[in-house]
Homo-oligomer: A and B are copies of this chain.
Amino acid sequence: MQEIGIGLLGLGTVGSGLVRLLEKNGEFLARKTGIRLRLRRILVRDPEKPRGVSVSRKLLTTDFEEILSDPGIQIVCELMGGLEPARTYILRALKAGKYVVTANKAVLSTYGPEVFAAAEARGVGLFFEAAVGGGVPIVKALRESLSANRIRRLTAIVNGTCNYILTRMTEEGLPFSEALREAQARGFAEADPQLDVSGADSAHKLAILATLAYGGFLPAEKVYTEGIETLEPLDIQFARELGLVPKLLAIGREEDGRVEVRVHPTLVPETHVLASVREAYNGFLLEGDFVGSVLLYGLGAGGEPTASAVAADLLDAARFLQAGARPGPILFRDRPLEIKPLAEVESRYYFRFSAVDRPGVLSKISGILGAYEISIASVIQKGREEGGPVPIVMLTHEAREASVRQALSEIDRLEVVTAPTRVLRILED
C-alpha cells in the first residue's frame, strides 16, 4: 500500500466534499487501488470558521509555505477558485516538483499556457477534470478516451444554472425573471447570477474544452458569447410549436484549420439527444472522425459530484507519481489556433418579426431575405389582433451570420416593422 500525501488549498463546497469523500470512501479506495490518499494539510483563510465537515484542527494552516515545504506532500490540490492567489500557488507547487490537481477554470482559461508550460518544464502532472462539468468526465474524454479522434464538433450544455432556468421557462412557460428566482430559491443559481446567465461561465468552460480538443490555447475572451437574459416566453412558445426547445449551447467546431467557438441560446430539435438534458444537468456531445457521436451527461456542479472528479484526478496523479510519469502534453498544435469570425459562421435561424397587419408585408420581408440569399424553410403567421402588430415567425435554411445581420437591419428599418426582429440560432444536425 503506497501512501500519497495531499496538500489541499481551500475548504469551501468542493473542498468539504472531498474531505467527506475521503472519509467515507478512503478505505474502499485504498483496497481498490492500492493507493492511500492522505490529507496532510489544508490551507484555509480562517481556521476558526465553523465548517460543515469535521477536520482535525491540526490539519488546517493559513500558510501556503507549510504545504510547499512539506516533503510528505506530493500532490497539491487547489480548490480555492479565483485567479489569485490560486495561480501563484499552482505555479509554485509545479515548480517545486509537486503534481497538481485543480478545479480552477478561471486560472486555466486565463493563464493556461503559463500553467501548462510550468508543468512541462518540471516534468510533473497537471490534472483538472473538475474544472469543467463537475462529475462528468469530459476532460478525460478529450485527453484520453477520444484522443485518437479529430474532434469535428463539440456541442455542450455546460452551465446547470442556465439549463435549469431554461427548463422552467420551457416546461412551465415562466418568464426569465421568475425562473431565475425559482433557481435561486432552490439553490441552482447564485444570489448574483450574472456570471452564469450572461454566458461568461459557459465561455470559460468552452475555452478549456476547445483548448483540449484543438490543441492550441484558446482564451475565453475569444469565445463569442450571448446569455439567456433576453429570451422571451413568446419565442419559446413558438419554438415549441415548431418542435424546438431552447438551450444555452457552447459550440466548438474545427473546419479547414479554423476554429469556431460560440456560446448562445440555441433552438434544439426536441428529438435531439441534447434536448433530453434537462434541469441542472450538463451534457457534452462530442463528434469525432472515428467514434461518431458520444454524449456525456451528469451533474456539472455541486460539492459531491465535483469532489468525485477531484478524487479521480488524485488517484490518477498518484498512479503517475508512483511511476515517475505524467500524462501527455495539453497543447500540441504546431501553429496558433485561428478563429473563424462570427460573421462567417453559418447556421439555421429562427426569426420573429413584429409587423403591422397589412397586405404585402410578408412579401417585403421575404424579398429582403431573398436578396441576401437567406432561404426560408417555414413560416407561421398567427391570426391578427385588432389592428395591432402581428408576429411572423420564420425558420431559415443555413445562412451566413453576416448576411442575416445585414438583412435584419434592413428589415427592422421598414416602416411596417414595429419592433426589432427577434433572432435565435437553430442547432444544425
Contact = CB atoms under 8 A, between A and B. Distances in A.
Interface of A: 17, 21, 24-25, 28-29, 31-35, 129, 135-137, 140-141, 144-150, 215, 273, 275-277, 288-299, 302, 304-305, 307-309, 311-312, 314-316, 319-320, 322-325, 327-329, 332, 334
Contacts of A25: 148-150, 289-290
A294 B140 CA distance: 14
How many chain copies does the complex carry?
2
Contacts of A292: 135, 298-299, 302, 304-305
Contacts of A273: 276-277, 297
A298 B295 contact: yes
Contacts of A325: 319-320, 322-323, 325
Contacts of A328: 32-35, 315, 319
A398 to B, nearest CB: 24
A332 B32 contact: yes
A298 B291 contact: yes
B148 A21 contact: yes
B147 A312 contact: yes
13 contacts: A21-B148, A25-B149, A31-B332, A32-B329, A136-B294, A137-B140, A144-B315, A145-B312, A148-B311, A288-B308, A293-B299, A295-B298, A319-B325
B298 A297 contact: no
Nearest to A276: B276
A84 to B, nearest CB: 29
Given A137-B146, A325-B325, A298 B290 contact: no
A41 B371 CA distance: 60
Contacts of A312: 144-148
Contacts of A296: 294-297
Contacts of A141: 137
Contacts of A146: 135, 137, 308, 312
Nearest to A324: B323
